[in-house]
Amino acid sequence: MEIYKHAHKLNETVMVRMKVSIFPLLVLLLFSIIIGTAAEETLMNGTNIYIATGEPTELGQGYVLIAKSVSNDGSVWLQLIDNNKILKSEIVRDYGYFMYNKSNRTILSIKLEKIYSGSIENLVALSVYQFSDPDKLVPDQTKIKENPKDLGNDSSLRREVSQGETVIWALGIALILILFYTLRKLW
């Protein structure tokens, strides 16, 4: 009879350890789901776009961005328009940011990457992060007007990894490691 009691105690200990190790897995899974839904609200994630001065460029959810002019000191005058109404007009210095917030929520974050000066017109390279506006419908697929200018391979425009994307990757790797560790302990 003592042998069975000992086996029963061992079984209880294993079950308690399993419950303790499964709880953090569930918390990580829930956290990654929450972050995943936040990532779905991203319409443009560091997309590189090129805008010629004076030409409007359509962004998602009806927003329009115009590079009004470029100055010799490396700054650009940007305007954000929605329904023919100017939402924001700002001069952005070289490698600076143009941000549009609405109701304490960032809708657009645009980084000025580079300015290409030409004899007739100028071209502005931007890195665009656009998050869904809760007051507007999210389109199934956002179409961006392609610029006819081909700049070739410009290695100075590198893809930036957002903080949310890094967190999702880190959580995924941590979850896999914990899962392997738990499975190894069970067998």
Contacts 24+ apart (CB under 8 A), 98-103: 102/133, 102/135, 103/134
pLDDT for the residue numbered 126:
92
pLDDT at site 111: 92
Residue 42, pLDDT score:
80
Nearest CA among 62, 72, 71, 67 for reference residue 49:
67
How confident is the model at residue 187, as a pLDDT? 72
Residue 65 near residue 59, CB atoms below 8 Å: yes
| Residue written as token pair 């190790």 | 21
Q: Decide if 31 contacts 164 (C-beta within 8 A).
A: no
Phi/psi of residue 177, nearest 5 degrees: -65, -45
pTM: 0.54
* Range(s) of the chain covered by CATH 2.60.98.40: 43-156
pLDDT (tens, 9 = 90+) of the chain, 187 residues, equals 555 555 556 556 655 555 555 666 666 666 665 555 454 578 888 889 999 998 999 988 888 999 998 888 889 999 999 988 999 999 998 888 999 988 888 889 999 999 888 888 889 999 999 888 888 776 555 555 555 555 555 555 556 667 778 888 888 999 999 988 888 888 7
Q: Which fold has domain 43-156?
A: Tick-borne Encephalitis virus Glycoprotein; domain 1 (2.60.98)
